[in-house]
């Protein structure tokens, strides 16, 4: 693919793990190179945590479940948070919850 699809930095301003734990960031890597992704989580009343390190193989997608993030620490349930996703190649990010789905904010 000659023109890259996506951006290297995305923000998801709204997040909250509830009982179903079905909050995801769907990451599309349409490029010919693996995407090395760093995700940082921000909270209302404590320091950010991360980065969580992920790899999305070339020309693949990853549905990353926030409830499954463990290193450097799990995200506490019933806590409001936001996240920033940074990648070394352009990717597309969509935030999904059990009933809703929204595109993340992108910026380089």
CATH code for the domain of 84: 2.60.290.11
In a domain, 2, yes or no: no
In a domain, 45, yes or no: yes
In a domain, 35, yes or no: yes
Q: pTM of the full predicted structure? A: 0.86
Of these ranges, 14-18, 54-58, 67-71, the one predicted with the greatest mean pLDDT is: 54-58
The pLDDT of 89-108, averaged and rounded, is 74
- Residues 83 and 1: their CA atoms lie apart, in Å, by 28
In a domain, 1, yes or no: no
Q: Which domain holds residue 23?
A: 7-106
In a domain, 43, yes or no: yes
Please list the residues that pair with 7 across neighbouring strands: 91
What local confidence, expressed as pLDDT, does residue 97 receive? 75
pLDDT class for 81, splitting at 50, 70, 90?
very high
In a domain, 13, yes or no: yes
What local confidence, expressed as pLDDT, does residue 12 receive? 93
Number of domains in the chain: 1
What local confidence, expressed as pLDDT, does residue 31 receive? 95
pLDDT higher than 80, residue 21: no
What local confidence, expressed as pLDDT, does residue 62 receive? 97
């Amino acid at each position: 693919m000659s023109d890259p699809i996506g951006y290297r930095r995305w923000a998801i301003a709204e997040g909250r793990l509830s009982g179903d734990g079905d909050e995801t960031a769907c990451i599309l890597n349409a490029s010919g190179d693996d995407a090395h992704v760093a995700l940082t989580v921000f909270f209302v009343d404590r320091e950010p945590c991360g980065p969580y390190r992920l790899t999305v193989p070339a020309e693949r997608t990853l549905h990353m479940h926030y409830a499954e993030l463990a290193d450097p620490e799990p995200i506490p349930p019933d806590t409001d948070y936001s996240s920033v996703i940074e990648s070394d190649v352009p990717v597309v990010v969509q935030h999904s919850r059990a009933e809703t789905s929204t595109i993340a904010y992108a910026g380089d």
